[in-house]
Amino acid sequence: MKNIFTVLLLCTFIAASSQVVKKTATPRQVITKIFKEYVKNEESVDGEDNKALMTKSFKSLAKSCQPGDFPILLNTWMYYDPTDFPTRALIQPIFIKYKTATIKAINNRIKAKKYWESKNRAPYSELWDLKKELSR
């Protein structure tokens, strides 16, 4: 009887410890995943589910944002532009709330210019305007 109890207890422990705990994605991870898919597919539209997830993630980051969030926020601000979605209007309050971190991220992004980007063409050229606006 004692052996059966020990075996049952051991089996229960193994079964419980082998279950995978699903980790909830952070807002940055959600934004990064959706943004990369959007850019990879060269979309001009995105699904309502993705737009809802992006909105929720932006609102979450508006409450609490980390320095590592700003590179993807800037790239999203620049290049995530699906039809009928207010990307910039949702990200702008984050930039305003975290001006210093945003300006630092803008400076880093300017230094990390992609070969196809030009200071004379949007959206890359708009980084200087954004920086000027946040410096006021």
Q: Concatenate the DSSP letters of all residues of 6-62 into one string.
A: HHHHHHHHHHHHHSPPPPPPPHHHHHHHHHHHHHHTT-S---HHHHHHHHHHHHHHH
Q: How many CA atoms lie within 13 Å of 38's alpha carbon, on the beta-carbon side?
A: 24
Q: Which helix (H) or strand (E) holds 97?
A: helix 87-97
Interval 1-29 mean pLDDT: 58
**Band of the pLDDT at 124, cuts 50, 70, 90?**
very high
**Residue listed under structure tokens 């993705």:** 50
pLDDT value for 45:
83
pLDDT tens, position by position, 34-88? 999 999 988 778 899 999 999 999 999 999 999 999 999 999 999 999 988 999 9
CA distance 35 to 47: 12
Q: What is the pLDDT of residue 4?
A: 53
**Residue 13 falls inside a structural domain:** no
**For the residues 16-43, what does the mean pLDDT come to?**
80
- Evaluate whether residue 74 is within a structural domain: yes
In a domain, 11, yes or no: no
Q: Would 4 be classed as within a structural domain?
A: no
Name the burial class of residue 12, with classes exposed (0-12), middle (13-18) and buried (19+) by CB atoms within 10 angstroms of its CB.
exposed
pLDDT of 16 reads 46
Is residue 82 situated within a structural domain?
yes
Assess whether pLDDT exceeds 60 at residue 9.
Answer: no
Cis peptide before 123 (omega within 30 of 0): yes
Q: Is residue 65 part of a domain?
A: yes
Expressed as residue numbers, the domain containing 99 is 23-135
With respect to residue 9, please indicate whether it lies within any of the assigned structural domains. Answer: no
- Number of structural domains in the chain: 1
- Other Cβ atoms less than 10 A from the Cβ of 78: the count is 19
